[in-house]
Amino acid sequence: MHPRITREKRIVDKMITIYCRKNRHSKKGVLCADCEELKAYAHKTFVN
């Protein structure tokens, strides 16, 4: 996988984690089911 894509996946993960925590969907370090689903979808959209 290209290093740029790997880096972008990490950034998206961090953004979703921050969103989930700030909106009180879950506790620190654990995503709620909806945010976990969003993360999985986001990862599928990246092109190698």
Q: pLDDT confidence of 44, banded at 50, 70, 90?
A: very high
d(CA 32, CA 5): 24
Domain count, the chain: 1
Confidence of residue 28 (pLDDT cuts 50, 70, 90): confident
Task: Please compute the mean of the pLDDT values over residues 3-26 and round it to a whole number.
Answer: 91
Tell me the per-residue pLDDT of 29-43, one tens digit each, with 9 for 90 and over.
789 999 999 999 999
Q: Is the pLDDT of residue 12 over 80?
A: yes
Q: Which pLDDT score, from 0 to 100, does residue 48 have?
A: 58
d(CA 9, CA 46): 8
CB 40 within 8 A of CB 33: no
